Amino acid sequence: MSVQNDPAEASEARGGFVRDGIWHSVPPLPAATGPAQALVLVDAQRAFLSGSDAVPGAEELVERLSALLERARAAGALVAHLRNDGEPGAPDEPGTPGWELHLPVRLSPDEHLVPKDSDDGFEGTALGALLDERGVRRVAIAGVLSEMCVSATAAGALERGLEVVLPRDGHATYGLDAIPASVVSRVAEHALGSDPEFVLSADAVAFTAPRGR
């Protein structure tokens, strides 16, 4: 993996880019360049965040997600809790303990529960309409699993012309065979290319109320 050292290019490509068939990675920013108008929490469900089958580092991840949630609420940002409806027998099968959200939801005009049944949180859901109605143009995305629903939802947001902030320690997944979970998460980030704004820490993500509040 080649590292990009040109500061001018690095400022334009926060995740990475391909040149002459070679991937050049760019270190994540220490802080987001501006506040997000919405927080999208992806599948923060008990199946993935509690118990013996939780993702590695789940306890610390929950703390960071909780802090993101409280800051978003305090700022008046829009909050969308995505909850996946898994297939029968899956850990997140509807109605099972693992399907329940791990973080509390305070339903209000500013906070919504969005059911989904595919990786992309925009596909067949109300998420896009919620963001559009409130004039949201910049979203912070966090949750699980890095290479599946987090990545697909981030890609879906980018396809809709939204700015995406993705904190490096704000998403997690499982290991894949001999590949550690942390490596799987990093590869998922690289697969998104240079369009998201990658930041080192969830603590560096600020929020503001959307225009349409």
The catalytic site residues sit at 149
Q: Show the DSSP H helices in the chain as ranges.
A: 7-12, 46-49, 58-75, 127-133, 151-159, 181-191
How many helices and strands in the chain, by DSSP H and E?
A: 6, 10
Assess contact for 45 and 102: CB atoms under 8 A. yes
Closest to 132 measured CA to CA, from 122, 140, 124, 143: 122
CA distance 141 to 157: 9
Cα dist from 71 to 19, 78, 87, 104, 207, whole Å: 38, 11, 33, 14, 7
Give the residue carrying structure tokens 């099972």: 96
Assess contact for 147 and 135: CB atoms under 8 A. no
- Cβ-based neighbours of 174, under 8 Å, separated by 6 or more: 55, 56, 145, 181, 184
Closest to 75 measured CA to CA, from 20, 37, 124: 37
